[in-house]
Amino acid sequence: MLVRINETYDEVSKEGARLVAELVRRKPNCVLGFATGSTPLGMYKELIRMHKQEGLDFSKVTTFNLDEYVGLPPEHDQSYHYFMWENLFKRINVNQRFVYIPMGMAADVEQFCEWYEAQIVKAGGIDLQILGIGANGHIAFNEPGSSLGSRTRIKTLTGSTREANARFFTNQDQVPKYAITMGVGTIMDAKTLLLLASGEGKAAAIQATCEGPITAMWPATIVQMHRQATVIVDKPAASKLTLKY
Ligand code: PGA
């Protein structure tokens, strides 16, 4: 695990974008795994800038998103479909046919999850998976206690996650109770992992991820077992690390 500590969120975003852009230039038909949440927004802005000003070309890229709320249609303004199109996809030149996001309205969730896993395999696997991290150590919606070998499936969101995400809804009761999420095992199959974190609220989770024992109670700790993982954090998110990097 390579841990990179930057001064600011802006630098975290730019470094993340640089690594994604390097891959897209080296392998124009690469498979990118995208994440939602506040953390990757700065990186997405930088990727949009690179597309507009430097001609970074996403036309051959295939994308898979980590997760989606169950019960929210793609046009709902808090769905992750909406988030991705608003904040990235409609501002770059991705081909809609190559965009995969879990379908929160799937009639048969189990069948959908199997199909989603199969599409990842068919695309040749994910070359680079972008990850945020929850204050509780979740990656995607793999909440504490998730099997470290899990595949794409439906998960119940914990109270702390629903509380953290209530800021996007009118109140906490509006936050969906379930999500479809790639499993921890699905994420670990990606060839490269890029985990971004910013702010003191993530410091305990980052400390556990980089220095703690591997445990399903902090699902992100499994990243220690990945052969090509980079963790990019700002100073506040790094503030509880005890080793010198
Ligand atoms: P955030 O969410 O980027 O909005 O902090 C990350 C997560 O919960 O995985």
Are the CB atoms for 140 and 108 separated by under 8 Å? no
Domain carrying residue 194: 2-134+143-234
Q: Which atom of ligand 1 is nearest to the CA of 35?
A: 9
Residue 87 included in any domain: yes
Domains of the chain: total = 1
Asked, for residue 15, whether it belongs to a domain, the answer is yes
Tell me whether residue 240 is in a domain: no
Ligand 1 center to residue 59 CA distance, Å?
Answer: 27
**Nearest alpha-carbon partner for 180 in 222, 160, 151, 137:** 151
Q: Give the list of residues 6+ apart from residue 46 with CB closer than 8 angstroms, or none.
A: 13, 14, 16, 17
pLDDT (tens digit per residue) in 16-37: 999 999 999 999 999 999 999 9
Whether the CB of 168 sits within 6 Å of ligand 1: no
- Please check whether residue 97 lies inside any domain of the structure: yes
> Which residue CA neighbors atom 2 of ligand 1 most closely?
37
User: Which protein residue has the closest C-alpha to ligand 1 atom 8?
Assistant: 134
User: 137: Cβ below 6 Å to ligand 1?
Assistant: no
For ligand 1, what atom is nearest to the CA of residue 36? Answer: 3
Q: What's residue 10's pLDDT?
A: 98
Strands annotated E in 85-209:
99-100, 128-131, 153-156, 178-181, 192-197
Cβ atoms of residues 222 and 207 within 8 Å: no
Partners of residue 153 on adjacent β-strands: 181
d(CA 122, CA 46): 29
Q: Please tell me whether the overall predicted TM-score, pTM, comes out greater than 0.85 for this model.
A: yes
Q: For the chain, report the end-to-end CA distance as a whole number of angstroms.
A: 11
Q: For the domain that residue 29 is a member of, what is the CATH number?
A: 3.40.50.1360
pLDDT digits (tens, 9 = 90+) for 96-113: 999 999 999 999 999 999
User: pLDDT of 134-149, one tens digit each?
Assistant: 999 999 999 999 999 9
Do the domain assignments include residue 100? Answer: yes
- 245 in a domain, yes or no? no
Atom number in ligand 1 closest to CA 131: 9
* 243, part of any domain: no
- Domain annotation covers residue 198: yes
